[in-house]
Structure formats: C-alpha cells, structure tokens
Structure 1
Amino acid sequence: MVRPREFDKEEVLQKATRVFWEHGFSASSTDLLLKEMSIGRQTLYNTFGDKRQLYLEVLRSYQEQALSGHLERLNTPESPLQGIRQLLLGLAPADDSIRALGCFGVGSVGEFGTSDPVLMAARASIQAVLQRRIESRVREGQNLGELDASLSAKEVAAFIQTAMVGLQISARAGADVRGMHAIANFTADRLKAV
C-alpha cells in the first residue's frame, strides 16, 4: 500500500493564497493550484474539499492576518492621529511585488461584489471590528484635542475604510510607495483639530 506523501499544510496554504491573491478565484484553475501547491488532486479534495472551500479558507486566514496588522498599526502609537496615519501608511509595502498585488480581500470584493453571501458575511465581520476600533481611536483623539471634534466618529471611520480601499486599489494599479504615503498623510491630516 502506497503511503500518501506528507506535506506542510501551512506552506501549501501560503502557496494557494498567493495564487488566489494574484489571479482571483475564477482565473485560478485547479490545475494551476495543484502545480503551485505541489500536491495531487486527491490530496486537495481530501484535505481542503474543493476549490471554493480552499479559497474560503485562505481568504479567511488572509483577512484575519490583515486585520491583525491593521489593528496593531492603529493601536500602537499613543497618539490616535498617529495610529490612524500608521494604519494608512502601512498599506504601502516597500516590496514592489507584494504592493502590486493590492489587497486580496478587496480583490474578492471586485470579483464577487455582493453575489456571495458567505463572503459578504465574512467581510462584514472583519469590517465591523475595524470600524469600531477606528471610531474608538477617533473619539479618543477628539477628547485629546488632536482630531476635529465636530466630525462624527462613525463617518470618519467609514471615510478611513473607504480611503484604505482606494489605497489598496491604487497599489494594484501600480501606485508607488511615495504616492501612496502622500495620500495616506493627506487623509490623516484632514482629521486634525483646527
């Protein structure tokens, strides 16, 4: 009896993430995934289910890691304004090959829009966590006199999330770090108390 080949599941998932991130769901054929993941078709089905289940798993993992990074940049500086600035600046990786991919999560929105309830629910959950934390930092900044007290914290958080999407799409469209940083700084500066 032939023993199945052992493989590192996390390494295989990272490879699948890169394929889906670069090509999207539809353009990532099962054959391309198998080639890049260096596994057989039966191993894919036995371990991950089908292509859709694999996509959902890697997208969920990507979104959790992205959210963790966003929250770390937002929460680390003592200054709420600097936290917001760092959140936005962090969307421009110095590595051209990574930056050119944009955001996998934003890419899934572009590909599926509102047509997939499972993806919509996952996206809404992630966005809600970030929205609440940005709102909290905005109120904190307003109480400290850093941020314009006349602004609605909820609207500012929605504005920042929209700016984040714009920056991530710009990255996919070829924006450079300097240009992305200029937009991030411009966005953060609009929130300052007068």
Structure 2
Amino acid sequence: MARPKEFDREEAVKRAMVVFWEKGYEATSTDDLLRAMGIGRQSMYDTFGDKHRLFLEALQRYQAENAAGLMERLRSEPSPLAALEQVFLVIANESPAERARGCLGVNAITELARVDPEVASVSRAAAMTCEAAFERVVREAKRKGEVRASVDERQAGRFLLTALQGLRVTAKAGASPEALREVASFTVSGLRAR
C-alpha cells in the first residue's frame, strides 16, 4: 500500500514559486527547492516529476493569482481609468525589494519563453487574459466618456499589457518610484478623452 503524502501540495508549490521568483529558473537548484518546500527528493519527484514540471505548476499558480489580483484592482474604482492607473501605480508603490524581484511571469518570459515552448504557452495564455481584461476596461471607460471614442479597444489592451510588462522590467532595473509613477500617469493619460 502506498504511503500518503506527508505535505501540503499547494503550500509546497507556493514555497517553490517564491524560490523561482527570487532566483530564476536556471539559478534555482533542486536542493534550494527541497529546503524551501520542506520535502525529500523522492517526494518531489513522485509528486511533481522534475524541476521543470514544478516550475510550470508554480508559474501557472502565479499567473492565476496575478490575474485574480488584476481583475480585483480593475473593479476597485468607479472610474475605469482610475482603476487602470492604480494597476500601474501598484508597481511604483512596491518596496525596493519587491520591485527588484519583479514579476515572475515577466521574469519567465525574459529567461525562458524563447527556448521553452511550455513556458511560452503559459505566458501567452496569461497575456491573453490580461489583454482581454484591459480591453473590457477600455470599453467601459469609452462607455463612460473617459476614453476617446476613436480608441481601438483591442489595440489599447495590447498596448496596456506591453506597457505593464515594460514597467515591470524598468522597475526591476532600478527605476525610481517617481519615474514609475510618471510612466503610469503618461500611459493612462494617452487614452483620456480630451
């Protein structure tokens, strides 16, 4: 009879996610993961298969949590444009350590997406979710007269995703909170009805 697992899988994935987020995929060793998760090597292989499978599961979990947080922030204000600006300002308002850590999704794209089709697939799915959310917000902002009627929602959604990813990279590279706030403001003001 097989022995039941003696650890919480969700908690183990969460702990692994933090290690990958802090160190990156390549720099994270199996020993780093085992220490963080508090499990043995065989348990890791039996449960997750290998480091790559564990990374994909951690990345998918991160992307799901990130998408849920984005949706919540986009619904947090009566003004769609104000909510959109808050999404960007969150980055500027992070601690220096949080900005330096960056976004696990963007980190995965820059480290692995060109050489790892599975990471690229997870990244594309997350991008589509984010773009669609931005499109909906722009559509709602147009309906409320906050955004020019001539703005194409699909193009705006894609632009906003790219701006958000770029802001994440800029923050990780050490840009000041003031510079990040200026970019956030400029990004949203470009959509505003005149």
Percent identity between the two aligned chains: 40
Checking the alignment, whether the CA contact within 8 Å between 2:113 and 2:123 is kept in structure 1 is no
Displaced runs of 4+ in structure 1, greater than 4 A?
Answer: none
Unaligned runs of 5+ residues in structure 1 are none
Task: Note the C-alpha offset of 1:4.
Answer: 8.0
* Correspondence 1:9-158 to 2 at 5 A: 9-158=9-158
- Give me the whole-angstrom Cα distance separating, in 2, the residues matched to 1:7 and 1:121: 29
1:82-134, Cα deviation, whole Å (9 max, x unpaired): 12112212234533322211100001111113332222222222221221221
Structure 1 residues 7, 176: CA separation in 2 closer, same or farther (over 3 Å shift)?
farther
* Aligned partner letter, 2:140: E
Q: Name the stretch that deviates more: 91-100 or 60-69.
A: 91-100
Checking the alignment, whether the CA contact within 8 Å between 2:113 and 2:119 is kept in structure 1 is no
Q: How many residues get paired? A: 192
Structure 1 residues 93, 34: CA separation in 2 closer, same or farther (over 3 Å shift)?
farther
Checking the alignment, whether the CA contact within 8 Å between 1:91 and 1:168 is kept in structure 2 is yes
**Matched residue SS, 2:114:** coil
**Matched residue SS, 2:18:** helix
Give the aligned CA root-mean-square deviation in angstroms.
1.9
Q: Name the stretch that deviates more: 152-161 or 92-101.
A: 92-101
Structure 1 residues 78, 34: CA separation in 2 closer, same or farther (over 3 Å shift)?
same
Checking the alignment, whether the CA contact within 8 Å between 1:135 and 1:153 is kept in structure 2 is yes
Checking the alignment, whether the CA contact within 8 Å between 1:17 and 1:59 is kept in structure 2 is yes
Unaligned runs of 5+ residues in structure 2 are none
Q: TM-score, normalised by structure 1?
A: 0.90
Q: TM-score, normalised by structure 2?
A: 0.90
